[in-house]
Chains A and B, each alone.
Chain A
Amino acid sequence: MHDMSAHAHVAHHAPPTSFIRKHIFSLDHKVIGKQYYGLALLAVFVGMFLSWLMRLHLGWTNLTIPGLHLLSSNGAPGNVMTPEYYLQLMTMHATIMVFFVLTTAPFAAFGNYFLPIQVGAEDMPFPRFNMMSFWITFAGFVVLVSSFFVGDGPTLGGWTQYAPLSAVGSVAGPGEGSGVVLWAISIALFCVGQLLGSLNFITTTLDMRTKGMSLWRLPLSTWAWFITSVMGLTAFAVLMPACILLILDHVAGTSFFVPSNLVISDQVQPHSGGSTLLWQHLFWFFGHPEVYIAIVPGMGIISHVLIANMRRPMLSHRTLIYSFGALAVLSYMVYGHHMFVSGMNPVSSIAFSFPTLIITIPSTILVLIWLGSLYGARLRINTASLFALGFISMFISGGVSGFFLAQPSIDIMLHATYFVVGHFHMVMGVAAMFGIFAGTYFWFPKMFGRMMNETLGKVHFWLTFVGTYCIFMPFHYLGLAGNVRRYQAFVVDYMQPLVPVHRFITVAALITGAAQLIFLYNLIHSRFWGEPAPENPWQATSLEWSTPSSPPPFDNFGGKLPVVYHDPYQYGVEGSTGDYVMQDSPEQIETVRDEG
């Protein structure tokens, strides 16, 4: 037996006793995971609130919303939204959602909590980096939100923060001043935080696996987090310098992203020589992998959840993993499809269109494997599995429009419309949210030792599922009808007939948003008063269900690391525990394995 212990170099830190060390500056990956989850929860409600304000305004353009002026010093005279204010809300909604919800919750929160447990480790190799990772991310969130209360309000440049308007300062209008700088600082901080997280995730997966835990025996969720962190490693490393250059353009007078002779507000800008396309190239080089950073963990989570509820493995474990990998590789080669209308070299459009169409192949393979595995399975219907099914539904509905948008000739017509908004909200926004929900309902018993209320959960699911379709399907229609996105009012004649559609969407959005309060109630109520959870409520096989208690003890496995004997998903076999065999159960069985 090899003696080289991968764990020898890990600092075994003792359980902390003080409140601060235990709950605030904790080194425990489980606490950090919960902190990330809490941050995402806070952020998602802020982001959702902002979207409510936008929706209300889109439905009833002259509506007076009491207290609107509180969020922006000069953006809402008489509590009626100005165009700038609308764009500020949109920008903050997008930034908060993409960075602080869709990246933190499925990747950083669940990954932190469950990746070390699923590989059979006591903790991550660098707990201090892990703690810094969270607190730096948190600082980024605080900086971002603070821009509501500083100077001329938050930035209005969209989450893409396109130059040159974002680079020239407040001469470009309200919301292009200090807001942009705060935005860039916040995102740069976020990049550092996620970089530290990625280092930990990758080293944990490679070096901290317990005895017998081969790479192929890792659960799909672990594979997804692992591949995501490899993507994050280089994607965030490019966005960070881009943000710093943007700050320099803003405050130090450089001209990286500002061309010569630019006239803004009737003034020739003092900058010269830069390129606006350069920012877009840098941003999207990060931005496209970021889309997969948001969605791949969700794919891993729902695969994990579905398998436990189908009571059999996916048709092909390996093909799923290879498809995750293919998505990761291709995500670096397709970023230009966000720039078809930017005026970039037309040759590049073709060069980017081709891999964009190729990337639909691994995506389709994933969907086919999920559907094929579900076919004929006796799926246990619970909230977690419903949300997993919802994920697949959203991913297909939103993904199909991707085939259209991948082609420059069609994208040029649809790019600036609600069609694109509907597309990405379904395929990476709501789908990833459904992944988060599935993970929450599935892992809550392990994280808090109590069950969530299933009835409330199912109500939450159906309201969210139906509501989401009511909101985002009409977006596609609006887009095809020529409704331009990022407009805060519909002044053009041909858009007038579309106003009722907007009202319908607004009502749907308010109801769907309110349904999330059921989730919040369920979460808080179950945390304290929920039914105590059994050790392994879903009769699942992976290592997180082998921990001696729920929540797991400080060192996860009670002082003794598990030994792994089986592939992760041994369902449908005769074991002493029923129709499944735990990964760390030493009984001899005929391995359930796919052929692929």
Chain B
Amino acid sequence: MHTPDVQPHEPEARYTDPIRKYIVIYLCILALATFQFVIAYSRIDGTAMFARMLFVALAEAGLALMFFMHLWAEKRGFLLFVVVFTGFVLLAMQYGWTDSYRMEVGAPYSQPKAGVVQQ
């Protein structure tokens, strides 16, 4: 357990990481970004493509969050706070999706009808 007498602000080792480490992470993110373009040109259906892209984007964002933004080097409590809190709020926002599917099923209201005269 962390004792109160320890300097809460450790010497900032994380900023003196070897540049090589940064470059490796940068290249990883770049590779993942490229991979997304590859997915975009692969012949798979929309849902599968979306799922894969989301997965790769989350991996990219995770790398950026942990190492570019140094979240990995912060206290675990803070890491958990940011990830759990943000993740919870963003997940809670997804409730509405079912209604978007119903909008599609709910045609003809979702598409312009040919017979309707625009005034």
Contacts and interface: CB of A to CB of B under 8 A. Distances in A.
The answer to whether A and B touch directly, with their CB atoms under 8 angstroms apart, is: yes
A308 to B, nearest CB: 30
B11 interface: no
Interface in B87-119: 88-89, 92-93, 95-96, 98-100, 102-103, 108-113, 116-119
Contact of B98 (A238, A275, A347): A347
Contact of B99 (A260, A261, A272, A277): A277
A213 to B, nearest CB: 13
B92 to A, nearest CB: 4
Nearest to A230: B85
Given A2-B6, A285-B92, A336-B95, A270 B118 contact: yes
Contact of A351 (B7, B95, B109, B112): B95
Contact of A260 (B9, B95, B102, B111): B111
B98 to A, nearest CB: 4
Nearest to A281: B96
Contact of B93 (A259, A277, A285): A285
What band does the interface of chain B fall in when counting residues whose beta carbon is under 8 Å from A? 20 to 34
Q: Which of A230, A275, A285 has the most CB of B within 10 A?
A: A275
A595 interface: no
Contacts, number: 68
A278 B7 contact: no
A344 interface: yes
A3 interface: yes
B4 A2 contact: yes
A416 interface: no
B117 A268 contact: yes
Contacts of B95: 281, 285, 335-336, 348, 351-352
A381 B112 CA distance: 67
A332 B88 contact: yes
A312 B71 CA distance: 42
B8 interface: yes
29 contacts: A1-B5, A2-B6, A4-B7, A230-B85, A234-B89, A260-B110, A261-B108, A261-B109, A261-B116, A268-B116, A272-B111, A273-B110, A275-B99, A275-B100, A275-B103, A277-B103, A278-B100, A281-B96, A285-B92, A285-B93, A329-B88, A332-B88, A332-B92, A344-B98, A344-B99, A345-B98, A345-B99, A345-B102, A347-B98
